[in-house]
Amino acid sequence: MKKLLKKYIFDPPEEGKVQFVRSLVVGAVATVADMLVLILCKELFGLKEHTVLAATIAFIFGLITNYLLSTFWAFRGLNTKSRAAEFTVFAVISIIGLVLNNLIIMLFEKGLGPHRTFGSWLPEDKYYIIGKIVATVVVFVWNFGMRKILLYSKKKK
């Protein structure tokens, strides 16, 4: 057990399955940050009618959390040689993720919500939350796959 914890928490993440597990943890932490900021923006900070703006602000908080944890823990030691190049690719991947995120949220809020697709148990104005959950899964798969391929694959000797 101690060896397994050391491998998944402390050792450099050289195996794909270790990177994947760490990415799940990073994604969970970033998702909590993202979701909290989204709900705060919509429910407390006056952006109730501005879902895309609220989702974008929240996504940026999640992105910063994700970048820092991915770079220094989930994929530690496998980064590109240039932090500027790394961040640029990370940002492009993330911007595509943001577009996917916002499209999925809007599909749920504007497409499914008005039709009460999930019945009366979910108020129409809360469909954005279900959309965010679906978007989180889709964007996680996108981000992990593209970051693994473009940024954090182990260099061949």
Q: Is the Cβ–Cβ distance between 15 and 35 less than 8 Å?
A: no
Query: Which of 3-7, 57-61, 132-136, 150-154 is the least confident region?
Result: 150-154
Q: Is the Cβ–Cβ distance between 61 and 88 less than 8 Å?
A: no
Looking at the predicted structure, is the pLDDT value of residue 62 above 50? yes
Contacts of 88 (CB under 8 A, 6+ apart): none
To the question of pTM greater than 0.75 for the whole model, the response is: no
Q: How far is CA 141 from CA 7, 70, 96, 136, 144, in A?
A: 23, 14, 12, 9, 5
> What pLDDT score was predicted for residue 79?
53
Q: How far is CA 41 from CA 23, 53, 61, 90, in A?
A: 26, 9, 12, 25
Q: Is the Cβ–Cβ distance between 100 and 138 less than 8 Å?
A: yes
Closest by CA to 14, choosing from 68, 70, 77, 66, is 77
Looking at the predicted structure, is the pLDDT value of residue 122 above 80? no
Characterise 46 by phi-psi region: left (phi > 0), alpha (psi -120 to 50), beta (else): left
Looking at the predicted structure, is the pLDDT value of residue 154 above 90? no
> What pLDDT score was predicted for residue 89?
87
Contacts of 62 (CB under 8 A, 6+ apart): 30, 31, 33, 34, 37
Q: How far apart are CA 126 and CA 141, in angstroms?
A: 24
Looking at the predicted structure, is the pLDDT value of residue 155 above 60? no
Query: Which of 47-51, 99-103, 115-119 is the least confident region?
Result: 115-119
Looking at the predicted structure, is the pLDDT value of residue 30 above 60? yes
